[in-house]
Chains A and B, each alone.
Chain A
Amino acid sequence: MPLAIETESLRKEYGDTVAVTGLSLRVESGSVYGFLGPNGAGKTTTMRMLTTLTAPTSGRARVAGASIEDRASVTSRIGFLPDVPPLYDELTAREQLRYAGGIRDLPAETIRERVSALLDRFDLSDDADRRLGEYSRGMRKRVGLIQILLHDPDVVFLDEPTSGLDPRSARTMRRVIEDLADDETTVFLSSHLLTVVEALADRVGVIQDGRLVTEGPLDAVKREAQRDGESEGLEAAFLEMTEGRSE
């Protein structure tokens, strides 16, 4: 299987603080990778490095076949949805999505067609001409997701995509992630909601204090935790791996 994400000894320092160190990951194309860790463990910093928002202090990484030093190549092949969707409150959803397509240099006709199709798919067509400032959190997340899918990226990075969503919106989001994986899009998923990761991920990595403490197929990680403890499931594995770290 070709690799969608490959990192080698990735390290990021902020002054004297080491946010991430010695991070080596291999994520296969078309898979869903669950990236777990307590608050402040280095998940968001890792995502920022992989999406070129921040430069690593040392180490190497390739995303969708391009080195993260080649910002233009990486950004043309990825989509990134942060925890707070990057939207302009003053625009309507349709205007926002046209803008997102425009800054990626998509032809106007393609933007029109894709926006219309994705608004339908995400059940937002009726609200597409309302301003985003009036949208609920779930609706904003959906618009945020649409705008990173407009250019048909090879890899999408989702930071807490289901946090704060009501059950219906969360289920919609889960289905979309499943559809992405079915379409051979690689999904790098960071979430505190272990049930979401458990339901979707092929492989998981657990990061703590900036270091990857375990990594592998979901079942293997669960089995590893089961050997040491009595309980089953990803939650038990997560607690086992990150023991001693306060939330």
Chain B
Amino acid sequence: METMVRQVGHVVRVRALRGVRRARDRPMVSVLYLAAVSFALLAVVGRLPVSGYEAVWSDSGAYAAGVAVADGRGVGALGTARGLSGLLAVATCYGVLVRTAQREDDERTDHRRLALSPTAFFTAELLDQLAFAGRLVGVVGVAGGVAFAAGAASPTTAVTTLVAVAALVATAVAVTFPVALGVRLAFRHYPRVRRHRLLLGALLVSVVGFAFVRTRSSFALLSGLPVGWYADLALVGAGVGASGGRAVAALVGTPVAWWLGIATARRITDYQRADAGKAGETRGDPAIVTRLRVAGGRLVSRVASRPTAAVARVVWLRLWREPRALLFSGLVVGATAGVGLVVVETLPTALPAVVATYVAVATGAGVTLDPLGTEGTALPLTLTAPHGRERVVTGYALSAAVPGTALSAAAGLGTALAIGASPAACVGAALVGSILGAMAPVVSLAAGLRLSPTDAATGSRGVGLPPLGALSAFSAVVALIGMPAIAATAAIESGSMSLSTAMTVAVAATALLGLGAGWYAFRDAVGRLDRYEP
């Protein structure tokens, strides 16, 4: 037992060290994580009785709820806390699922398995996941609990909240980890499931995205589930009617969940070790795909040099055979679909502009977001070809811009026609869509070359996943360029601008912003790749 504890401690320590060094190597990603956690902290803790704090955050949150409880106005506090518990659990499950399902290491060859007992191995894995979820979700939960305790002037609640958040995150990790292993096993074993990862991933992200955008509905749904019992544990002494039985059940549930999690993970990996099935074997491409590829190849050959066209053609071919990078196109749309829905609810006539922006984001969020990672071990071939660096940038940009321009324009036009927009609005939507679709891949290339972890670029042997930092920066820029179209729609609705003026302004502003951003991004991308040393 002592040996196991020492081994587990050692593994967790090394994993933590690797995590710290990785974060240091990728400061932009760390900043984005910090920004996301800070925003969540502000939202959960809410307004504080600190002079000038209202300028930072004015909505009420956990602290105000604590004050209300202390004043005897705490009706509904428990329900909200239960809902919040559910939301924290959803965030933990999502993080662990994505992190585990994406991992590239192979359970059959992992060297740690030769040194550790299965129990020690999975305990270390779960602790690592716990540390990951703890520094994101746990911090938010604890801060909310402490703020509530401070508002309610109840030190006991601060302690019970700490325990409850730790137990909640630990339980969510233990339940999700074997599920994530199962997902990986399914990807590996069933070629059909593997091929439809895009759909599954987009579906998952959409569900999670909606859970966070529609907090009221989510709270109502999640507070009724056992995961809400952890709120009872947190508020057991706060005098808000928390159930002692549920609190005990939550507390006991955590070690049980860990035991079950480890046992299930062992069974899954035992099965995997015995499983010879492997997805991804050579198979012929369907005729329609070959025809599309040939047609696309002819098109790019007309507009670009032979080497640039070769790069674009190979990007398409690789994407078709390994559509992992497209997963992120779906993920980013799924993750932000809730935001788009809110915009459309507020301003229904903005639907064509919103749809065109989303399609442009989706087409730019593929391989162009991580060209170095996607080139991987093949990078020296491209870099040692004459003018190879420029051709990679133009080839990649073209590979996404050709379908992106057509798709975004068609999406904008199609949606405008579908909602019965005027002919001027239809033309405007098509033009805005085509500008966004053409420009998005170039911005995405620049973001990818700036924010990709270039030290790992040549290690990959497959189509890479874009880094989160690049994905966020790229999405923000494209959304910004799509903004004039939405603003113009608002101006038409409010009557402050005529239809024709608003459409002209929208198209001109989009073109100006798009061309400016595209020109700058292209120069930046070419310059960066020109200076790049693998």
- For A102, the closest partner residue in chain B by CB is B310
Chain B residues closer than 8 Å to A73, beta-carbon distance: 386
Q: How far is the CA of A129 from the CA of B321 in the complex (A)?
A: 14
- In the complex the two chains form, is A52's CB within 8 Å of B310's CB? no
- In the complex the two chains form, is B385's CB within 8 Å of A75's CB? yes
Chain A residues closer than 8 Å to B378, beta-carbon distance: 86-88
| Best-surrounded residue of A75, A88, A104, A129 (most CB of chain B within 10 A) | A88
For the residues of B in contact with A, the DSSP-based class is helix
Contact among A53, A82, A104 with B307 in the assembled complex (CB-CB below 8 Å): A104
- In the complex the two chains form, is B382's CB within 8 Å of A103's CB? yes
Chain A residues closer than 8 Å to B463, beta-carbon distance: 90
The distance from the CB of B314 to the nearest CB of chain A, in whole angstroms, is 5
A79-114 interface (Cβ within 8 A of B): 79-80, 82, 84-92, 95, 98-100, 102-105
Chain B residues closer than 8 Å to A82, beta-carbon distance: 380
- In the complex the two chains form, is A53's CB within 8 Å of B380's CB? yes
Binds B, one of A130-138, A188-196, A222-230: A130-138
At the interface, yes or no: A78 with Cβ under 8 Å from chain B?
A: yes
Q: How far is the CA of A98 from the CA of B281 in the complex (A)?
A: 21
- Known interface pairs A90-B321, A90-B463, A105-B305. Does A133 touch B386 (Cβ–Cβ under 8 Å)? no
| Best-surrounded residue of B314, B383, B384 (most CB of chain A within 10 A) | B384
- In the complex the two chains form, is A147's CB within 8 Å of B381's CB? yes
B348-393 interface (Cβ within 8 A of A): 377-388, 391
Q: How far is the CA of A76 from the CA of B388 in the complex (A)?
A: 10
Chain B residues closer than 8 Å to A87, beta-carbon distance: 377-378, 381
- Known interface pairs A91-B317, A102-B306, A133-B280. Does A80 touch B385 (Cβ–Cβ under 8 Å)? no
Chain B residues closer than 8 Å to A131, beta-carbon distance: 282, 321
Q: State which size class the interface on A falls in.
A: 35 or more
- In the complex the two chains form, is B318's CB within 8 Å of A53's CB? no
Q: How far is the CA of A76 from the CA of B379 in the complex (A)?
A: 16
- In the complex the two chains form, is A54's CB within 8 Å of B305's CB? no
- In the complex the two chains form, is B380's CB within 8 Å of A80's CB? yes
- In the complex the two chains form, is B384's CB within 8 Å of A89's CB? no
At the interface, yes or no: B322 with Cβ under 8 Å from chain A?
A: yes
Report the interface size for chain B: residues with CB under 8 A from the other chain.
Answer: 34
| Best-surrounded residue of B310, B379, B462 (most CB of chain A within 10 A) | B310
- For B459, the closest partner residue in chain A by CB is A84
The distance from the CB of B183 to the nearest CB of chain A, in whole angstroms, is 22
The distance from the CB of B528 to the nearest CB of chain A, in whole angstroms, is 15
Q: How far is the CA of A54 from the CA of B458 in the complex (A)?
A: 14
- Known interface pairs A91-B314, A92-B282. Does A52 touch B462 (Cβ–Cβ under 8 Å)? no
Q: How far is the CA of A52 from the CA of B388 in the complex (A)?
A: 12
Q: Mark A175-213, 1 if CB is under 8 A from B, else 0.
A: 000000000000000000000000000000000000000
Q: Mark B492-534, 1 if CB is under 8 A from A, else 0.
A: 0000000000000000000000000000000000000000011
Q: How far is the CA of A100 from the CA of B322 in the complex (A)?
A: 20
- For A54, the closest partner residue in chain B by CB is B533
At the interface, yes or no: A51 with Cβ under 8 Å from chain B?
A: yes
- For A134, the closest partner residue in chain B by CB is B282
At the interface, yes or no: B311 with Cβ under 8 Å from chain A?
A: yes
The distance from the CB of A43 to the nearest CB of chain B, in whole angstroms, is 15
Chain B residues closer than 8 Å to A89, beta-carbon distance: 322, 461-462
Q: How far is the CA of A86 from the CA of B372 in the complex (A)?
A: 13
- Known interface pairs A90-B463, A91-B317, A105-B306. Does A55 touch B533 (Cβ–Cβ under 8 Å)? yes
The distance from the CB of B405 to the nearest CB of chain A, in whole angstroms, is 23
- In the complex the two chains form, is A102's CB within 8 Å of B307's CB? yes
At the interface, yes or no: A72 with Cβ under 8 Å from chain B?
A: yes
The distance from the CB of A243 to the nearest CB of chain B, in whole angstroms, is 32
- In the complex the two chains form, is A52's CB within 8 Å of B384's CB? yes
At the interface, yes or no: B309 with Cβ under 8 Å from chain A?
A: yes
- In the complex the two chains form, is B282's CB within 8 Å of A53's CB? no
> 16 A-B pairs, CB-CB below 8 angstroms?
A48-B534, A54-B533, A72-B387, A75-B384, A80-B380, A84-B377, A84-B458, A85-B377, A86-B380, A87-B377, A88-B378, A89-B462, A91-B321, A99-B310, A103-B385, A104-B386
